[in-house]
A = this chain, B = another copy of it.
Amino acid sequence: LKREKPMKIPDSLIKQIKISDQRLTKQKELVLSVLVSNKDRMLSAQEIMNQIPKTESIDFATVYRNLNAFLEIGIVEQTVDMNGRGLYKIACEADAKNHHHFICLICGKVKAIPCDKRFIGDISEKYGFEESFHTLEIFGKCEECLKKE
């Protein structure tokens, strides 16, 4: 995956960090910057590390600690890939509570799909379950990659 040009970190994120009892450090900015610059992609800790300029220094432990800190205050979301590696992305407002992902197997881009509550509700009712939460991920080729073929 190519390295994206670093983007400015939105004030809203900064604010959410300050509201919590967390401090905004240089290292947190580095991690956030990568996440913001790839906001429609899920990145592993390693990939985040790769996108941090070599002129900056940051430890893997710090990357993980910060990702966990971000998860706690809800500004980052996590999934796990097929091999059990953690993947992270900025939790953008639009993604809100319940949504799913389409993940392009070619370019790696992720698109949020709004959740069809009714569909899941129908299934659960039919089988007598009480749903607490669910996951739905669709893998395939995205519109852009299909065009390029």
Contacts and interface: CB of A to CB of B under 8 A. Distances in A.
B131 A146 contact: no
Assembly stoichiometry (copies):
2
Interface in A70-85: 80-85
A39 interface: no
Contacts of A83: 80, 84
How many residues of A sit at the interface, in one of the four size bands? 35 or more
A140 B135 contact: no
A82 B84 CA distance: 8
A136 B139 contact: no
Interface of A: 80-86, 102, 104-105, 111, 113, 116, 119-120, 123-124, 127-143, 146
27 contacts: A80-B80, A80-B84, A83-B84, A84-B85, A102-B127, A104-B129, A105-B132, A111-B129, A113-B127, A120-B138, A123-B138, A128-B142, A128-B143, A129-B138, A129-B141, A129-B142, A130-B140, A130-B146, A131-B138, A132-B140, A133-B139, A134-B136, A134-B137, A134-B138, A135-B135, A135-B136, A136-B136
Give me the 6 closest cross-chain CB pairs, A-B, nearest first.
A84-B84, A128-B143, A132-B140, A134-B138, A131-B140, A130-B141
